[in-house]
Amino acid sequence: MLKLLKENDPLLTQQLEKFDFASDTDPVALEAEMIKIMKDNYGMGIAANQVGFDRRVIIVQPKGSEPIGMFNPEITDSNGSCSDEEGCLSFPGLFIKVERFDTITVKYLDRNNNSCTITLSGMDAKCVQHEIDHLDGICFITRVSKLKLDLARKRQRKLLNGRAK
């Protein structure tokens, strides 16, 4: 059974191996369980290592669409840039402005091992980039300066302390 891991878990900083349809777990069941965890935690996306699974799989839910499971996703094209605040299910209450590409094209396999390509922009593109970073062992906190992270941590403490009251 998978569960959401929090920021200090070492799996979040490990680069993951490709998902192997011949020998890894059932991709349909994995996708369904990851979608449930993402939705239960009000996320827009989630990476396999965030739920304790060490293969290259992400779930994203583009605006107005059903969730998409992407096995072995790879960004094949990118352009533009945008800088918006983003959060992470493994870092509750922490929001940081991160620079990302505005438009990306992603090649991936679906749960049935079919090759797919999708072009996304705006928040959907940012979400996929954030989740692919997780697969590479990169957490969004490493994409900003120490000063920006310290300020965001201060806001996080305030936010979480306010929820506890």
Q: Residues with catalytic annotation?
A: 131
Q: Let me know: does 120 contact 103? Beta carbons within 8 Å.
A: yes
| b (16+ CB within 10 A) / e for 76-105 | eeeeeeeeeebbbbbbebbbbebebbbbbe
Token output for 164 = 């506890």
d(CA 62, CA 119): 11
Q: In a 3-state reduction of DSSP, which class is residue 96?
A: strand
- Closest to 15 measured CA to CA, from 70, 52, 60, 56: 56
For 53, 95, 142, the CA distances from 91, given in Å and listed in that order, are: 18, 9, 13
Token output for 61 = 């839910």
